[in-house]
Amino acid sequence: MQVVIGVDSSTQSTKALAVDVDSGEVVGEGRAAHTVSGGAGRESDPRQWWAALGEAVGQTGWADRAAAVSVGGQQHGLVTLDAAGEPVRPALLWNDVRSAPQAAALVAEYGPKVWAERAGSVPGASFTAAKWQWLREREPEAAARTAAVRLPHDYLTERLTGVAATDRGDASGTGWWTPDGYDTALLERLGLAEPMLPAVVRAGEAAGAVLPGLPLRAGALVAAGTGDNMAAALGLGLRPGVPVLSLGTSGTVYAVTPGRPADPSGTVCGFADALDAWLPLACTLNCTLAVDRVATLLGRDRQAVEPGGTAVVLPYFDGERTPNLPLASGLFHGLRQDTTPGQLLQAAYDGAAYSLLAALDQVLAAGGADAEAGGELLLIGGGARGAAWQQTVRRLSGRPVRIPAAGELVALGAAAQAAGLLTGEPGDEVARRWGTAEGVLLEPLPRDAGAMERIADTLRRSGTLLES
């Protein structure tokens, strides 16, 4: 049996799957936690990601035998290394919104249309370019000591191989990558030079091989890796035009498309996928964690929702990315004497799902996808297993919803990418051969257009209040 290992280095933990290349059977699993600092921002020491990777792959039981490995990692994070390859400071994570003023200034300097055409996306606070500019302005000594800039998965791939490598998918979330390579003019504006960045490895090629003395077998092939959303798309074997809604701490909606997205409104991020197509995506900061917080405030189980009522909840507890309100706080609106706790909890579900579903058509249109109106929606992530989330998405979208049975799709997609190094197949074809997207299909419910309009109206009238 030939086995590969796929790694998911996410915000709060690292997961590893050992997968049989022929059958797709998961033959070993591992998991290790990391910590995120609170306070004004969201930061992590990248060295703990490395320690967690070693622990997680060791738990699979296949670390010393795996033929190939790949790392999928949280997007956008800013890892700064000194001349010795050591972290200059803790990494700024994707959901650190302190760089919102820097993002706004960069957008104003070039204009949103130029950003969309050059980088594919209008950068928000999450983007690496904005975080680097924040570091230059707020911690100039740290920026001056920086000899290399990496994304989270780049850092881990380099620790495995000694090679500074990335892929087009994750690189497309920085703000300084274009289909023709790094945007040298923008790098100069940001005080960066191309040698400070990793080389972009073509799809299907190895970044290198595992170095001796590490937790994995020396000489095992290491794929380029990719960002977490790109890895999940690989893990599903996603075909063009099929939308995915991912319900985690954050929420995302995306689809593989043949055309390159360029949305000057900033709603849709014009990411590349991990192959040779595109992955337009809309992301919200507040999803399952925000709903769980409302359930805790109400003293209710997260599934204890009730229908009806006029309440609207905009659960923007950590600011928000879609819509672009990085300084927002949560808002409860439309409460009446007869509003029940269960109705208020349902309103939190609706508010968290609203932005993703409202952006769905824009995501498909941005990449020129030939998608069936009202067609099937794949629901993934931790929230996809909950009945309340399933019912909410069905009711607000009016679409049939499929729940893939496979779990840990980011690690599974990384494993498919690693397997492709051995078989010569594209990663998505490996995943389709493994049958990873198979699962229960839930029939559509009548679309609750009234709830969607109620939320949209509240959002229109409350923008200033949300930022106060």
Please give the positions annotated as active site: 228
Residues 6+ apart with CB under 8 A from 189: none
Cα–Cα distance between 315 and 328 in angstroms, integer? 9
Residues 6+ apart with CB under 8 A from 436: 24, 235, 236, 237, 404, 406, 409, 412, 416
**129: left (phi > 0), else alpha (psi -120 to 50), else beta?**
alpha
For 183, the token pair is 């945007």
Nearest to 356 by CA among 310, 321, 406, 391: 321
Residue 81: which H helix or E strand, with range? Answer: strand 79-81
The contacts found for 28-31 with CB under 8 angstroms, 24 or more apart, are 28/3, 28/59, 28/60, 28/61, 28/62, 29/59, 29/60, 29/408, 30/55, 30/56, 30/57, 30/58, 30/59, 30/60, 31/56, 31/59
Considering just the CA atoms, what is the radius of gyration of the chain in Å?
21
Beta bridge partners of 114: none
Question: Of how many residues is the chain composed?
Answer: 468
Per-residue DSSP letter, 63:
T
Where are the extended beta strands (E) located within 121-250?
Answer: 148-150, 165-167, 177-178, 181-182, 199-201, 206-209, 221-223, 226-227, 244-247
Cα-flanking dihedrals φ and ψ of residue 139, to 5°? Answer: -135, 65
Cα-flanking dihedrals φ and ψ of residue 13, to 5°? Answer: -160, 165
